[in-house]
Amino acid sequence: MARRRDTGTVSFDVSFDADDTLDPGVPSPRRRTGGRWRAATPRQRRRAGLIGGGLVVLVVGGLATTTAVSAHADAQRLREAPGGVLSLEGPLVESVRTDADDLAAVLDAGVLALVDGADVVAWDVAAGEEVWRTEVGGSPRCGPRPQLGGAVDFATPVDTITCLQDDGARVTVLTADGDVTGTRDLPADGYGREHQVVAPAAEGGLLVVEHDPGLPERVEIPADDSGDPWLVLDELERQVTQGTAHVEDALTGDVRFELPVSQPGGRGAGYCYDTYLTNDASVGGESEATLRPADVVATPHLVMYERCGASARGTAAGAPLDVGEGIDSYGSIGWFVGPGASSVQTATDGELVVPDGSTTKVVDASGDVVLRAPAQLAAPSATDGSPAGLWIGTRDYAYLVALDETGEQVWQTDGGDISLLAQTADTVVMANWERVVGRDPADGAERWRVPLMGTDLLGGAVSRDWNPRAMVTDGLRVMVLVESYSEDGSGSFGLLTVDLASGDHEIDMLDLDGRDGIADGGERGWVLPWLVAVDGHPALLGIGLDEAYRYSVTSVATLGSP
| Of 482, 479, 469, 467, the residue nearest 424 (C-alpha) | 479
pLDDT at 64 over 60: no
Pairing verdict, β 551-560 and 537-545 = antiparallel
pLDDT at 292 over 80: yes
Q: Is residue 152 part of a domain?
A: yes
Taking the C-alpha atoms of residue 349 and residue 40, their distance in angstroms, rounded to an integer, is: 11
Taking the C-alpha atoms of residue 377 and residue 83, their distance in angstroms, rounded to an integer, is: 18
- The stretch 38-48 carries a mean pLDDT of 31
Q: Is residue 226 part of a domain?
A: yes
Q: Which amino acid is at 58?
A: L
**Cα of 513 vs its chain's centroid, Å:** 24
Q: Kindly list the distances between the CA atom of residue 241 and the CA atoms of 195, 210, 268, in Å, as whole numbers in the listed order.
A: 11, 10, 16
Q: Is residue 480 part of a domain?
A: no
Helices vs strands, H then E, count in the chain = 4, 41
Q: Is residue 1 part of a domain?
A: no
Q: What is the secondary structure of 397-438 as a DSSP string?
A: TTEEEEE-TTS-EEEEEE----SEEEE-SS-EEEE-SSEEEE
Q: What is the 3-state secondary structure (H, E, C) of 6-47?
A: CCCCCCCCCCCCCCCCCCCCCCCCCCCCCCCCCCCCCCCCCC
Taking the C-alpha atoms of residue 25 and residue 14, their distance in angstroms, rounded to an integer, is: 9
- Which residues have C-beta within 8 Å of that of residue 237, sequence separation ≥ 6? none
Taking the C-alpha atoms of residue 175 and residue 113, their distance in angstroms, rounded to an integer, is: 11
| Helix, strand, or coil (residue 316) | coil
Tell me 293's DSSP state: P
| Helix, strand, or coil (residue 112) | strand
Q: What is the 3-state secondary structure (H, E, C) of 462-529?
A: CCECCEEEEEEECCCEEEEEEEEECCCCCEEEEEEEEECCCCCEEEEECCECCECCCEECHHHCEEEE
Q: Kindly list the distances between the CA atom of residue 211 and the CA atoms of 261, 294, 307, 382, in Å, as whole numbers in the listed order.
A: 8, 10, 9, 36
| Helix, strand, or coil (residue 52) | helix
Q: 277 pLDDT band (50/70/90 cuts)?
A: low
Q: Where are the alpha helices (DSSP H) in 98-202?
A: 151-154, 188-191
Taking the C-alpha atoms of residue 297 and residue 305, their distance in angstroms, rounded to an integer, is: 7
Burial of residue 447, with CB atoms counted within 10 A of its CB: 0-12 exposed, 13-18 middle, 19 or more buried: middle
Looking at residue 489, its pLDDT comes to: 56
For residue 353, the enclosing domain spans 107-459
Looking at residue 244, its pLDDT comes to: 94
pLDDT per residue as tens digits for the range 547-556: 666 789 999 9
pLDDT per residue as tens digits for the range 132-170: 999 999 899 999 999 888 899 999 999 999 999 999 999
- The stretch 389-409 carries a mean pLDDT of 91
Burial of residue 402, with CB atoms counted within 10 A of its CB: 0-12 exposed, 13-18 middle, 19 or more buried: buried
- The stretch 219-236 carries a mean pLDDT of 72
Looking at residue 516, its pLDDT comes to: 37
Taking the C-alpha atoms of residue 457 and residue 473, their distance in angstroms, rounded to an integer, is: 20
- The stretch 16-27 carries a mean pLDDT of 38
Q: What percent of the chain has pLDDT over 90?
A: 51
Q: 411 pLDDT band (50/70/90 cuts)?
A: very high
Q: Is residue 198 part of a domain?
A: yes
- Asked which of 120-124, 357-361, 501-505 is least confident by mean pLDDT, the reply is 357-361
CB 115 within 8 A of CB 98: no
Q: 66 pLDDT band (50/70/90 cuts)?
A: low
Taking the C-alpha atoms of residue 132 and residue 126, their distance in angstroms, rounded to an integer, is: 15
Number of domains in the chain: 1
Looking at residue 326, its pLDDT comes to: 44
pLDDT at 408 over 90: yes
Looking at residue 314, its pLDDT comes to: 94
Burial of residue 122, with CB atoms counted within 10 A of its CB: 0-12 exposed, 13-18 middle, 19 or more buried: buried
CB 31 within 8 A of CB 110: no
Q: Is residue 466 part of a domain?
A: no
Q: Is residue 96 part of a domain?
A: no
For CA atoms 165, 200, 113, 94, give the dihedral sign. Answer: positive
Q: Which amino acid is at 120?
A: V
Q: Is residue 168 part of a domain?
A: yes
Looking at residue 390, its pLDDT comes to: 93
Angle 272-274-278 (CA atoms, 0-180°, nearest 5)?
125
Looking at residue 233, its pLDDT comes to: 84
Q: 381 pLDDT band (50/70/90 cuts)?
A: very high
Taking the C-alpha atoms of residue 18 and residue 28, their distance in angstroms, rounded to an integer, is: 17
CB 317 within 8 A of CB 366: yes
| Helix, strand, or coil (residue 214) | coil
Angle 405-411-417 (CA atoms, 0-180°, nearest 5)?
95
Q: Kindly list the distances between the CA atom of residue 414 and the CA atoms of 400, 411, 417, 433, in Å, as whole numbers in the listed order.
A: 6, 11, 10, 16
Sheet of strand 551-560: strand arrangement? 93-99, 551-560, 537-545, 526-534, 519-520
Q: Kindly list the distances between the CA atom of residue 286 and the CA atoms of 220, 223, 269, in Å, as whole numbers in the listed order.
A: 7, 4, 19
| Of 201, 130, 199, the residue nearest 161 (C-alpha) | 201
Taking the C-alpha atoms of residue 330 and residue 338, their distance in angstroms, rounded to an integer, is: 9
